Each structure stands twice: as C-alpha cells, then as structure tokens.
Structure 1
Amino acid sequence: MDKIAIFDGHNDAVHLIREYKPDGIDFLAANATGHLDLPRARTGGMIGGFFALWVPAEHPLENTLTTTESSYSVRMAEPLDPAYARRETARQLAALKSLEARSEGSIRIATTVTQLEQSHRDGVFSMLLHIEGAEAIGPDLTELDALYTQGLRSLGPVWSRPNLFGHGVPFAFPSSPDTGPGLTSAGFDLIHAFNRLGIMIDLSHLNERGFWDVARTSTAPLVATHTCAHALCPSARNLTDRQLDAIRESNGIVGVNFSVNDLRPDANRNADVSLDNVVRQFTYLTDRIGIDRVALGSDFDGATIPSAIGDASGLQNLIAALRTHGFDEASLNKIARENWMRVLRLTLR
C-alpha cells in the first residue's frame, strides 16, 4: 500500500540544524539523533510541515520542576528580553533560508497553499514558517510586517511564559488551562493584525482566558497546531471540551501533539506509549469536532515521542494504527494533509 502523504503541524527542528547550531545536524542527511531530517521525513511519508522559530531562555532557571507520584508542575518561564528575542528569531530565520538554499531545490519555504500543493506534486519538501511566542515583535507591530514579508505565515502569540501580548499556559498536571489573565491590549491589536495580514493564529500555548479572547476577536478559524484533549489527559496544555467545541464552530483545526506527557492519561514522560493510546486522541477529537478538523502536530524535536513512532521515519506506523481502528483512506488523507490545506486556504491571504 502506498504511503499516505503527511503535512505536519509543528516541529522544533530548526534548533538542531547546523545552520543555526554549529555542532548541529545536517538536515539533508540521515541522523541518529533528534526526530526529523529530510531522509527520515521521506521514509515516513512526510512532505512538509510548519517549522517553528522559538527563542529559548537567555538565562534558564534551575530546579523548575516539582513532581509527586501523580502530578507535576513546571515553574513558569520568565519573560524574554525583546532585543535578545529579535536577534535569535533573525538567526533562526536566516538558518532556515540558508538550509533552503543549500538544498538546491529539495526544500522550499512556501507562503501559499498553491505553493505547498505544487511542492507536493514536484516532490519538494515544503516548510511553512511559524513563530512560537511573539517576543520578537514590539508594540507598534513593525516587526510583524517585516516578518510577514520574509515569509512568516503562522504565529502563536505566546509560548508558555508571559509577554507583551498575553500569558502562556504553564506545564502542569493535573491542571485546568484556566491559569491567569487573558490578552493584553497589545494582544488584541496583534490579533487584528494577524487577520489583516492573513497570518494563522496558533493557540497551543495560550491559557484559557487568552483562548476565549482570541475566539471573540479573530475572524479566522481557531487553530491549535499541537495539543491534545483535556478529557483524556488533564494537562494544562490540553484543550477542554468547551474549547474544542469553539474550534469546531469556527471551522478550525487541532493538530494532535505526540508529546507523551500530553497523550498519556497519567501524563508520565515515558515513551512506552502504545499506538492505541495515540489513536484514542484522534478518535475522541474526530468524534467531538469532526473528521475535517483534526490533523497531525507532532512536536518533533520538542518533546518525548512515543517509541512506537520514534521519529519522522515512523509516521506510517501511526497511519497504519489509525487504519486498523477504522479510519478509511479518505479520512486518513484528511488527517494527514488535506485538513491543514483546508484551514490554510481559509486563513492565508
């Protein structure tokens, strides 16, 4: 049986590529570390995805994790210095552009659905530029317009820390996602600017009050590129049924996150997770919000991934498991690729 072509909603591979990290991986060659490179993507049927620019803490905190036998919490990361965030974002963007040039046509940074679909037909791996946390953008939003010109088409207003625009949801279990204030006044301005430019708004790391602020402000479909159902794993990062219903009503989409601590009912960071457990998320979400609104959002190179998938080369293992659990070929193609194309058509200009 032919491989199902997969377009993935989220990865953090840019932090590992040698164009950004001198001792990093050669993305064009097969590697034994990390989750994603071009050969492993091709083995797993991955034709492209959202590639995240994310700025780590300049001065990481220590001893931030607190655990018990049945819970964990991570102290909220501190705000970033905007000048540092701008420098690192620019470095990561330059790294991806350099990788695209070095690939000699095997990789293409795309800005429209037409380009994404043409890349698929041409056998070219496509990247859609995403930023995870808007710390590189100032209150007058000048940087946003510049980033759009450079190819940015998807952006999460916050990562799991506060910034000028809103408040990220912490990493905690068990926990409600209702963990603090919503968007700031600058955050509302940012949402209006996203709608004006046609930039997808990613809600994956936004707390619940911020989610509802976006829901009542944005004219675009609601999107969470990499998350799971709170009903199956009550992690603060996962979406409640009420949030899922709002995504359904907006004709939006949820990319299922492979992070084991958001998949497992016990939120344990143990990669020994059966594919049945992963499929359970897809079944719950498609039952709740419909087959047209569920996709993949792996979080490759940003999370602990089920060993049954392992890395990008194992993506067809998940497809096979979904097929075994009754998802037909039309549904598999929607989940794997077509649903992302649908919501991008509704969002991008």
Structure 2
Amino acid sequence: MIFDAHLDLAFNAIQGRDLTRPEPQPYHDETTLVNFPSLKQAGVRICLGTLWAYPKSTDDPEGYTTPLEARGLARKQLDQYLRWQDDGHIKILTSGQEVKQHWDTHTPESPLGVIVLMEGADPLLNPEDLQVWHKDGLRVVGLAWGRTRFSGGTGSPGGLTPEGVEMVHALRELGVTLDASHLAEQAFWEAVELHQKVIASHSNCQSLVPTDRHLSDSMIRKIAELDGMIGLVLFSSFIKHGFVKGMPKDAVSFADLVPHALHMADMVGWDRIGLGSDLDGGFGMERTPRELRHLTDLQQFFDLLPAEAREKVKYQNWLNWFSKKL
C-alpha cells in the first residue's frame, strides 16, 4: 500500500500518453514508469494528481503566456481527470472522510484515489476563480513552479506579490492546503505567516542538494511546527548533487535518497515524511534511481528505512494527514 503525494497524471496524458496501457511508453528520449496498471500493481491507492500548466519556453512552445491561457491548460487537465473518473480509472477525493473511506474499503478492483493539486497558481485568475476551482475539486495549491504572478519560485527568488498575498488569504478562507514545493524561500516565510495549513508535496533537503528547489533546514522545521508533511522526490538530480541528464542511471540509487529521509527525521521525526515521487514529471525512468525499473520496485526504497519508519513513509503519514486535514 502506497500514498504518493505527487504525480503529473493529466499533464502526461495531455502530452499524448495513454495511462490506461500497461506497457512503458516513450517520453521524448526517455521511458515512462507511470500508468494505471503499474500504479495498481505497486499498491498505490491514493495520490495527489496535479494540474500543471507550464509557461511557454523554447522547451515548451505550447505553454501559456497569459493567465487565461494557463487556465485553459489546467482546465484541459481537469477535464482529463473527470473523463478518467467517468471511465472508472480514478476517483476524485475532496474530503478527509472520502480519503479514509476510499482507503479502508479499497479492493483490487478499486480505482486510484486522486486529490487534485494545482502546481503553479497562474491558472487562478483571482480569488473568486479559486472558488470555482474548489467547487470542481481542487484541494491543494502550490503558488509557484518558477516565478508566477503570485510569488517567487524555483530559480526566481522573491516574496509574495500583492496578488499572492490576496490569494493566500483566499486559500486560507476556503481551507485549501498550501503546497510549499517550488516556493522561493522568501515567499515561503511570507506565506506561512498568513496560512498555516501547509505541506511540501515533493521536496528533498537543500543541505544535501544545494538548490532553491529544495527545503532549507529551517523550512523543514517550520512545516513540521505547523503540523505539515513533506514528500520525498525521486528525480535523480534532486537526490544526488551533480547528477545531470545523460549520466548513467546507475549513478544514483535508492541508498542515496535515504540520507534525505534521515536528515529530515533527525530534525522533525518520522511522522512528517512521506513519498512525493513526481515520477514521469518531466523526466523518465533513466533519471530515477537504478533500482527503479517498475513501480513495484519502490518497495526496495522503503526496505532501506528503519523498520519503525517504513509504513509511515510508505502511506501512514500522508493518510493520517489528509484524513484529518482535507
């Protein structure tokens, strides 16, 4: 049984992949891992499924340049989740009661439970628009990916903008969870002063991989102080400092991720740590730990953790948190 706090399911479908097929599919020049059959085989019962609208760039010429375009991309992804739900592949979960019930009544034939997370908030036109998204199932929002209208983000230092302050107030009023992954550190500290229902869905330790994509020790402690959670991410460059695309897959192993978990646990205990794999989130199998050839191989990572922590990191911590907080 696994609870994964970050999968870009709809984004990958919009990119042309069929997640209902069990075999790996090409991802540019790499190979995919995630599909509904593999998730079922690995025992993933619930995940956070993202709405990831990406800005236009040389790498993503079909990305957005305006908030309306960002909204259109995210709505297209939400429509994909709704189609999957109609077809019986997933069930969108919108409350703690639904999370607990889905988990407790799960059978081998049950659909994948999905909590909808918006990664990068540019699709939100204003606080009133957030209410529309919330009615449609949105329950977790990350303000940034890179820089957005709302805040600084990965590779873009800075705090909250005036629009960001207004949006954080709106998140708090609706009870929507704030995802701190990708937030610039200044924006993080400003946001948690305003809204204390916070997680980091997919972040490792900045002290081990020195990049602003990850969490500083003080950020990790603050999330724990606010009764939040952190998901370990499986992208090789986020696990081992110096790994770049083109290096052999064997260069990174699950053993290299263990120090991230241990470092967090030394500061805040094992009850704050889970999985936020981000698998196929812009990278393929070739840039994941060498043991990972199929999602069932995730168990090899959990087996490396202290015995008392394995089930907590595998599913218990996220399940307990969302059962109470969603």
TM-score, scaled relative to structure 1: 0.83
For 1:67-113, what per-residue CA distance to the aligned partner results, in whole angstroms no more than 9, with x for missing partners? xxxxxxxxxxx98311111111111100111011112xx52111112
For 1:35-89, what per-residue CA distance to the aligned partner results, in whole angstroms no more than 9, with x for missing partners? 211211122121120001111234x2369xxxxxxxxxxxxxx983111111111
The aligned counterpart of 1:327 is 307
* Segment drifting more, 94-103 vs 34-43: 34-43
Q: Specify the SS of the correspondent of 1:61.
A: coil
Mapped to 2, the partners of 1:145 and 1:40 lie a distance apart of 34
What is the deviation of 1:182? 0.1
1:67-146 paired onto structure 2 within 5 Å:
80-103=65-88, 106-120=89-103, 121-123=105-107, 124=110, 125-139=112-126, 141-146=127-132
User: Is 1:274 matched with 2:253?
Assistant: yes
The aligned counterpart of 1:152 is 138
Mapped to 1, the partners of 2:59 and 2:200 lie a distance apart of 29
Mapped to 1, the partners of 2:161 and 2:320 lie a distance apart of 30
| Aligned positions, number | 307
The aligned counterpart of 1:246 is 222
Q: Unaligned 5+ residue runs, structure 2?
A: 26-31
Q: Assess if the C-alpha contact under 8 Å between 1:113 and 1:341 holds in 2.
A: no
What is the deviation of 1:347? 3.4
Q: Specify the SS of the correspondent of 1:248.
A: helix
Mapped to 2, the partners of 1:165 and 1:223 lie a distance apart of 18
The aligned counterpart of 2:49 is 51
Change (3 A) 1:62 1:108: closer
Change (3 A) 1:224 1:80: farther
The aligned counterpart of 2:276 is 297
Mapped to 1, the partners of 2:47 and 2:186 lie a distance apart of 28
For 1:303-335, what per-residue CA distance to the aligned partner results, in whole angstroms no more than 9, with x for missing partners? 33223123423221212222xxx232xx22221
Q: Specify the SS of the correspondent of 1:287.
A: helix
The aligned counterpart of 2:33 is 35
The aligned counterpart of 1:166 is 151
What is the deviation of 1:292? 0.8
Change (3 A) 1:311 1:224: farther
Change (3 A) 1:206 1:147: same
1:309 partner letter? L
Mapped to 2, the partners of 1:317 and 1:37 lie a distance apart of 20
Mapped to 1, the partners of 2:41 and 2:118 lie a distance apart of 27
The aligned counterpart of 1:314 is 297
Change (3 A) 1:309 1:113: farther
For 1:217-276, what per-residue CA distance to the aligned partner results, in whole angstroms no more than 9, with x for missing partners? 1132x3111010111111221111111111121121110111111110334344321221
2:58 partner letter? L
Identity percentage over the alignment?
25
1:196 partner letter? E
Mapped to 1, the partners of 2:4 and 2:85 lie a distance apart of 18
Mapped to 1, the partners of 2:262 and 2:320 lie a distance apart of 20
Mapped to 2, the partners of 1:200 and 1:97 lie a distance apart of 21
Q: Assess if the C-alpha contact under 8 Å between 2:49 and 2:117 holds in 1.
A: yes
The aligned counterpart of 2:177 is 200
Mapped to 2, the partners of 1:116 and 1:345 lie a distance apart of 6
Q: Assess if the C-alpha contact under 8 Å between 2:182 and 2:214 holds in 1.
A: no
What is the deviation of 1:338? 1.9
1:24 partner letter? R
Q: Specify the SS of the correspondent of 2:231.
A: strand
* Segment drifting more, 338-347 vs 283-292: 338-347
Q: Specify the SS of the correspondent of 1:167.
A: strand
